[in-house]
Amino acid sequence: MRITMIGTGYVGLVSGVCFSEFGFDVTCVDKDQAKIAALQRGDVPIYEPGLSELMVKNAGRLNFTTDLPGAVENADVIFIAVGTPTRRGDGEADLSYVYAAAREVGEAMRSGSVVVIKSTVVVGTCREVRRIIEETAPDKEFSIASNPEFLREGAAIEDFLRPDRVVVGVEDERGEQILKALYRPLNLRQTPIVFTSLENAEITKYAANAFLAMKISFINEIADLCETVGGNVQDIARGIGLDNRIGPKFLHPGPGYGGSCFPKDTRALAATARRLGSPIRLVETTIAVNEERIRAIPDWVIAAHGGSVEGKTIAVLGIAFKPNTDDIREAPSLTAIPALQAAGATIRAHDPQAAEAAKPLLPGVTWCASPYAAAEGADGLVIMTEWNEYRALNLATLSRTMRGDVLIDLRNIYPPEEVAPHAFNYHSVGRKPRAAEPTSPARPRLVSS
């Protein structure tokens, strides 16, 4: 089968490359000429471990073009994988790119094609895409399907090739058989493939992301309680995560969730549910808790510095919303850093992959080549993203390099007892205070949460 993937953003590019790994001929389409030119040269516009190597391996089965009609006219399966950002004003998903792609597909496709919505879309979108194509091309027969993605940035290749499950919404036998054929390579791993209705597939995507976001906001509020009563949120997360009904994933407290999915998808689900007269109060509260937490980060940093950062230098390690990606969309760092600058702080920052993307959005920040360079002369250091290279920092070197002694670990990378001998004024999330062992009589410090 010949596959056309419309959209070479994160979802479209990863999905297209992985389908080529399955052995299919794939044409990826985008209107961005510079991006397509880069892909044709073999340059990957996003950082995703393993993606570049997979592109090179399957170069003979991959084609990149800006010619949508030419890519669609002979395709057996046409995926629409364009962006669905938050719509200004009401918080719902902006489906204009999906609908524009549907019109172009209708004009160019041949009869018998299967049109698959890969984009994250609210319930009812696939029905509207069908209506648009029928209006555009009333003489053409086609099948419509919903196939939402469940890819974690930083682990997307593994998630596509070895998924927990594949969800497919269909309305006819032809669509179901084509999608079964597309995912047949996963049969060897006995991957569950859930065939359901279009509406169920659309809701499943939002429900999954909203549930995971709720787990994050939940454990963050438990962390707040732990700080009040002197508990340890990591022990509690382990205690509840060992329950198979709950599970350990997404029970890691921190600065709040960000990225390209959870913020926009929770907002879209909540807004759509309100419009339909069926509000989801748990999701609405999840959003509020997360937004309040992100806004509070500068206050945490300022409090750790005695109530003011005026004239102080703060080192920030990690700008991307999570490790193993250069994605900075709705990253907590983008809110915290400008607020600290407004409070009078000078920011020195490091991120292994996201610095170039962040520079235009964070004017005035000094970008450093290493974590130690960022820490040089700093009054305080904030670990914002849990990159692996931050997990084994030489704390003695950091202590000597920094001017001040404040270490704020928003990802709980370090056990307090490991930090204590280095006499940092150590702040973590949801953990009780622990006395430090001063490195010298002149610098007694305490570990606090």
434 is in an annotated binding site: no
205 is in an annotated binding site: yes
252 is in an annotated binding site: yes
Q: Is residue 79 within 8 Å of residue 118, measured between CB atoms?
A: yes
The CA distance from 13 to 64, in Å, is 10
Tokens of 133: 């194509």
The CA distance from 357 to 328, in Å, is 7
86 is in an annotated binding site: no
35 is in an annotated binding site: yes
- Tell which residue, 153, 163, 209, has the closest CA to residue 183: 163
4 is in an annotated binding site: no
Q: Is residue 118 within 8 Å of residue 12, measured between CB atoms?
A: yes
66 is in an annotated binding site: no
Q: Is residue 231 within 8 Å of residue 430, measured between CB atoms?
A: yes
254 is in an annotated binding site: yes
152 is in an annotated binding site: yes
- Tell which residue, 314, 293, 295, has the closest CA to residue 305: 314
30 is in an annotated binding site: yes
* Catalytically active residues, by annotation: 261
150 is in an annotated binding site: yes
* Backbone dihedral region for residue 67 (phi beyond 0: left; psi -120 to 50: alpha; all else: beta): beta
151 is in an annotated binding site: yes
The CA distance from 341 to 350, in Å, is 16
158 is in an annotated binding site: no
329 is in an annotated binding site: yes
Sign for the CA dihedral angle at 379, 381, 382, 385 comes to positive
- Tell which residue, 16, 19, 41, has the closest CA to residue 29: 16
Tokens of 191: 């991957």
The radius of gyration of the chain from alpha carbons, rounded to an integer in Å, stands at 24
Return binding residues for substrate: 150-153, 205, 250-254, 258, 322
Which residues does the annotation place in the binding site? 30, 35, 84, 120, 150-153, 205, 250-254, 258, 264, 322, 329
Annotated binding site for NAD(+): 30, 35, 84, 120, 153, 264, 329
